Structure 1
């Protein structure tokens, strides 16, 4: 696998765009495509090369990164209809930066290998700001030599952790997400309880930010909840989808994830209230809603 040639990147959304920009800034010869033509033009202005479609990306690049919303989006973009797919994937390494279910990851691995290519999973932990700063944590899994993929990902991440074969990176990411989601949900409960109990919000912030439980995540989300500033870093709808994936993984593993289940309910409720595109801190609104029983 040659990581010095042109590298493809498909999906320039909320997370894909800053990741792709960091690759370009690191000197990677990036060939990009997404459905929104203006995003392709923006990346081209930054130094990437725009492609007309996914087929062109696969024809020009041996390594192609995908950052798409879910497994259905990946299937749709690749046009996986059984016609001509093997020709497009032969000798190619597909690196999936997005989060799918462990079952979907295993299925993609099998189908890509059957088509003569290689599937590498590299889901990332972190929101848009860490993506912009190149401070993501990447979980990497797949067969064969992963060093070239890791070298490419260095420009996007604080660290890359090798997890084993597919789908261990996906299982790791979903396990991490279970903790993150429960953390933010518990923080929302604390904020709501303090508000209903007459606690001064400034006092709550001072105590939590100074205490042993404080973290970059808690400080950022606490400020957002208190200030009602839900500028999206990780959207409510994305978190709800990830909660569902956590629950699927728990069921497949013969266990339960009660906090993830409760969080899933609250994130879906927040979405129903109109906060689906807002940051996950808006989960507090599901508790603040006076109609909630």
Structure 2
């Protein structure tokens, strides 16, 4: 299993594909934007002009796409992955999509003799660059074992969490926890600033106690400095929280705080900030905390 087709060379996908190169795999990259393919070729990979060309002869096909409709299009189109991937190959979908779509992909893949795993990732752009992603994997035990060399090249926490669709279910829970943490950090920062506290020092000491979290560590400085270069875009987190609320409704589970932060993330996107990092949630906290202006009746 040395030849990997990698479809989707975006913010996350490009560094993941490069890490596979560094691990010694022969990687063929494809993206709808040719410029991203050219950048991957410049990094040492091979490029393809179509999905069919990318997956031809591949032992493993890795996909990293924005949303469920994108995955369905790439998988099921006449010129898509399942029409051209050889029987016996492994399909590893690292996109974050609905669990039911992941199960649909697994069932359709099995019917064509292709082994499928849903393997969404967490860790953001820096985690992808460093090869330190957390990867939650759904699928058969034997297929997970076969895919470990590929997964280990991209992540440091690689865990098989259950049958097809389970990886996406765990990722939805991950996105719930991350969004809730971001919102609370945003509220804490605005609160500290309102009291004139040195926020950089405050964030440092908070990080050493029970309030410490990966979100505080990774996002705290950007929030205090109001720099929102995307490691993970708000519009994508908005999409992910939609997956979470839908799956929670289907299961009959309550996510009251999740529902609130999902609305806030949606409001951030509606205000035109979808391209910013999801830590830009602090903008809404500032708006809600602003005193009325002199013109307010």
Normalized against structure 1, the TM-score is what?
0.91
- Structure 1 residue 270 displacement after superposition: 1.5
Structure 1 pair 41/86, CA: closer, same or farther in 2 (3 Å)? closer
Q: Provide the secondary structure at the position in 2 that maps to 1:231.
A: coil
Match of 2:245 in 1: 247
Moved more, 255-264 or 83-92: 83-92
Match of 2:144 in 1: 146
Match of 1:99 in 2: 96
Structure 1 pair 165/134, CA: closer, same or farther in 2 (3 Å)? same
Residue 136 of structure 1: which of 108, 133, 136 is its match? 133
Q: Provide the secondary structure at the position in 2 that maps to 1:139.
A: strand
CA distances 1:239-284 after superposition (whole Å, capped 9, x unpaired)? 1111111111111111121111111111112222332111111001
Runs of 4+ off more than 4 Å: 81-87, 290-293
The 1-side partners of 2:64 and 2:81 are apart by: 19
Structure 1 pair 202/135, CA: closer, same or farther in 2 (3 Å)? closer
CA RMSD of superposed structures (Å) = 2.1
Structure 1 pair 251/48, CA: closer, same or farther in 2 (3 Å)? same
Q: Provide the secondary structure at the position in 2 that maps to 1:145.
A: helix
The 2-side partners of 1:113 and 1:122 are apart by: 17
- The answer to whether the 8 Å contact 1:89/1:112 transfers is no
Match of 2:84 in 1: 88
Structure 1 pair 98/86, CA: closer, same or farther in 2 (3 Å)? closer
The 1-side partners of 2:116 and 2:247 are apart by: 20
Match of 2:28 in 1: 31
- Structure 1 residue 217 displacement after superposition: 2.1
Note the residue ranges of structure 2 that are not aligned, 5 or more in a row.
293-297
Q: Provide the secondary structure at the position in 1 that maps to 2:70.
A: helix
The 1-side partners of 2:12 and 2:81 are apart by: 27
The 2-side partners of 1:81 and 1:129 are apart by: 32
Structure 1 pair 85/19, CA: closer, same or farther in 2 (3 Å)? closer
Match of 2:74 in 1: 77
- Structure 1 residue 148 displacement after superposition: 2.6
CA distances 1:71-113 after superposition (whole Å, capped 9, x unpaired)? 11112233x2468976424513211001111111111111222
Match of 2:120 in 1: 123
Residue 256 of structure 1: which of 247, 254, 257 is its match? 254
Q: Provide the secondary structure at the position in 2 that maps to 1:158.
A: strand
The 2-side partners of 1:127 and 1:45 are apart by: 23
Structure 2 residue 10 is the aligned partner of structure 1 residue 13: yes
- Structure 1 residue 115 displacement after superposition: 2.8
Q: Provide the secondary structure at the position in 1 that maps to 2:168.
A: helix
Structure 2 residue 10 is the aligned partner of structure 1 residue 51: no
Q: Provide the secondary structure at the position in 1 that maps to 2:230.
A: coil
- The answer to whether the 8 Å contact 1:201/1:226 transfers is yes
Match of 1:204 in 2: 202
- Structure 1 residue 167 displacement after superposition: 1.1
- The answer to whether the 8 Å contact 2:223/2:282 transfers is yes
Q: Provide the secondary structure at the position in 2 that maps to 1:229.
A: coil
Equivalenced residues, count: 289
The 1-side partners of 2:208 and 2:60 are apart by: 45
Note the residue ranges of structure 1 that are not aligned, 5 or more in a row.
none
